[in-house]
Structure 1
Amino acid sequence: MLNVFETPNAGSTRATVATWYVDDIDAIVDELTAAGAELVRYDGAGQDDRGIGPRAGGGRIAWVGDPDGNILALETDT
């Protein structure tokens, strides 16, 4: 599932602009970092060394910036 919302601040907002709900966040984070992506880290988010943290309400979440400066999220229920 993909959840996208429009913002006039695309490329300059620090808010998440798109979220992908995935089954295997570990594999996707590994693939992204192997390709050179850097995960976004937030103070107090409880992220591990790879950038994956607990999601409010359960599950896990990671954020990555795209080349235009948008913040994208990956979420999983496990």
Structure 2
Amino acid sequence: MIDNNRAFSGFSVSDINKAREFYGDKLQLKVMDGVMGLLELHVGNGNPVIIYPKENHQPATFTILNFPVENIEEAVAQLSTRGITFERYDGFNQDSKGISRSENGPSIAWFKDPAGNILSIIQPTD
């Protein structure tokens, strides 16, 4: 039967070395080399997220990872100094920093990894 204690997620990138640098250096996350040229991205207390190279990689058109933060203003400022550029999307009320704020929901800012996959930082509502 399915073992949900060992389930994990994964996504592709076009260049595994650029991914290692981006997730390890720019985002300062724990990245380890896995088997068969894969990367293991260790987030939270669960199983790692697998990052794998794909020759014909197509970037995800949706957010693949969301990173909760306590203070989105500080997180955007820190990531910006590391060369992260925040995306702008039609239909969202985003400020000059790229932060979307909602009266009834969390504040969120989106950015992309070197392979074009969409990520976000998100400040949950109190």
TM-score with structure 1 setting the length = 0.78
1:60 to 102, 107, 111: 107
More helix by share: 2
Q: In structure 2, what residue type is equivalent to 1:25? A: I
Inter-CA distance 41–75: structure 2 relative to 1 (3 Å threshold): same
Structure 1 residues without counterparts, runs of 5 or longer: none
- Aligned match of 1:30: 77
> Which structure's relative contact order is higher, taking Cα pairs within 8 Å and 6+ residues apart?
1
Q: 2:111 is paired with a residue of what secondary structure?
A: strand
Inter-CA distance 43–69: structure 2 relative to 1 (3 Å threshold): same
> Taking every aligned residue pair, what percent have the same amino acid on both sides?
34
Aligned length: 75
* C-alpha deviation, 1:77, in angstroms: 2.2
Inter-CA distance 54–69: structure 2 relative to 1 (3 Å threshold): same
More strand by share: 1
Q: Deviations over 1:50-73 (max 9, x none)?
A: 000025842200001011111101
- Residue pair 1:14, 1:71 contacting (<8 A) in 2 also: yes
Q: 1:40 is paired with a residue of what secondary structure?
A: coil
- Structure of larger gyration radius: 2
What's the RMSD between the two structures over aligned residues? 2.6
